Amino acid sequence: MIDRLEAIQKEAHEAVQTAGDLKTLEDLRVKYLGKSGLVTEILKGLGQVPAETRPQVGKACNEMKNKITLQLDLKREELEGKGSVVTPREWDPTLPGRVTPLGKTHPLTAVQKEICDIFKGFGFDLAEGPDVESDYYNFLALNFPPDHPARDAQDTFYLGRDVLMRTHTSPIQIHVMEKFKPPHKFVAPGRVYRHEAIDATHHHLFHQVEGFLVDEGIHFGHLKGILDSFIKKFFGPRIKTRFRPSFFPFTEPSAEMDISCVFCEGKGCRICKQSGWVEMMGCGMIDPAVFKNCGIDSEKWTGFAFGMGVERVAMFKYDVDDIRLFYQNDLRFLKQF
């Protein structure tokens, strides 16, 4: 019995392989698997097989049926696809094409670029500096003497006794002033690092845009004019600015610039804590001690510097209340921009 099954299977296999069209293939299906086909007849006659060999024969019969079915299916696919690279089932020209998802600029990158572009429009050039600095460039040359209390305000990641991750973009001022002769007119964007606990408004990594301008006869009025124009270009012409006295070792006098709240336009709201004003950036006239460190004659040249946090600007621009959202790479957040 088993021998006969094997013979039928062999014969079926050869017949299927040589079938040249779908009609022949259908005839073969009827011959073997049809209602009175060879395989069907054998399955019907299983009752007459002696009981002791019946399970074995039954199993062989089913296997043969499955094999022939598979061979018929494969051959049909082959014949249907004949003459074309893909079968019509695979390629339907009326279906819409697949859309390739496009990446977007991260909101922080976009805001940083927007800030720099506005200053480029004012005639500023772009400068860069390294993320890893020596104590000299990050502190000493910027008039932070050793043991100066202002160093404590910028909790620093030290990589060695004298090597650190820059805590602000201000070292770029020193690099530029050492390399080039005044006048200077630069904005310098970059990452900065602080050894700080992370919460809704603090992160150990954030971005700043530094700006500085050095020329003959520069005074505080120029600083106010440039920054006020920048804010009106960035947030709109209705936003007002004000300057409050402050302290930074590398500027004298120093100031904090506030802007009228972009959400309530000065009326008072949750964001501005009902004051109508929000703090935007630090700035000031470059301290003569900094000029001296760079070999620049402070009797002839004067200038101003400012530094703003890109995250802070972006949070006001987009009404984002948690700085951590910018770093979590959550597409639900990022897709909004």
Q: What tokens appear for 221 in the block?
A: 């009025």
Place of tokens 């600015």: 241
Which CB atom, from 247 or from 263, has the smaller least distance to Zn ion? 263
Q: Which of 211, 319, 213, 307 is nearest to 257 (CA)?
A: 307
Burial of 114 (0-12, 13-18, 19+ CB in 10 A): middle
132 binds Zn ion (CB under 5 A): no
* Least CB distance to Zn ion at residue 298 (A): 40
**Nearest approach, Cβ of residue 319 and Zn ion (Å):** 11
Report how far residue 88's alpha carbon sits from residue 81's, in angstroms, rounded to the nearest whole number: 8
Beta strands in 263-301 (DSSP E): 277-286
Q: Does 218 bind Zn ion (CB under 5 A)?
A: no
Choose one: 55-63, 66-74, 203-211, 265-273; the region binding Zn ion (CB under 5 A).
Answer: 265-273
Q: In the numeric block, which tokens belong to residue 107?
A: 């909101």
Strand-pairing partners, residue 279, are 258
Stretch of 22-30, 245-253, 256-264, 292-300 lying at the interface with Zn ion (CB under 5 A): 256-264
Q: Which is nearer to Zn ion, 34 or 276 (CB)?
A: 276
Distance CA 299, CA 134 (A): 28
Q: Which of 181, 194, 175, 177 is nearest to 128 (CA)?
A: 175
Q: Which stretch binds Zn ion (CB under 5 A): 61-69, 126-134, 262-270, 318-326?
A: 262-270
DSSP helix, strand, coil percent of the chain (3-state; round to 5): 40, 20, 40
In the complex, minimum distance from the CB of residue 138 to Zn ion, in angstroms, rounded to a whole number: 35
Tell me: does residue 264 bind Zn ion (CB under 5 A).
yes
Identify which of residues 255 and 272 has a Cβ nearer to Zn ion in the complex: 272
Query: What token pair was written down for 244?
Result: 């409050």
Number of residues that bind Zn ion (CB under 5 A): 6
Residue number with CB closer to Zn ion (271 or 334):
271
Which of 169, 191, 128, 133 has its CA nearest to residue 326?
Answer: 191
Which residue has its beta carbon closest to Zn ion? 261
Q: Is 337 in the site for Zn ion (CB under 5 A)?
A: no
Residue closer to Zn ion by CB (options 108, 271) is 271
Strands 241-248 and 125-126: unpaired
Q: Which of 214, 162, 212, 172 is nearest to 192 (CA)?
A: 172
**174/239 with CB nearer Zn ion:** 239
CB 274 to Zn ion: min, Å = 7
Closer by beta carbon to Zn ion, 150 or else 271: 271
Of residues 172, 231, 261, 281, which one binds Zn ion by CB under 5 A? 261
Residue from 57, 272, 286, 320 binding Zn ion (CB under 5 A):
272
For position 263 contacting Zn ion by CB under 5 A, the verdict is yes
Q: Is 129 helix (H, G, I), strand (E, B) or coil?
A: coil
Contacts with Zn ion, residue ranges (CB under 5 A): 261, 263-264, 269, 271-272
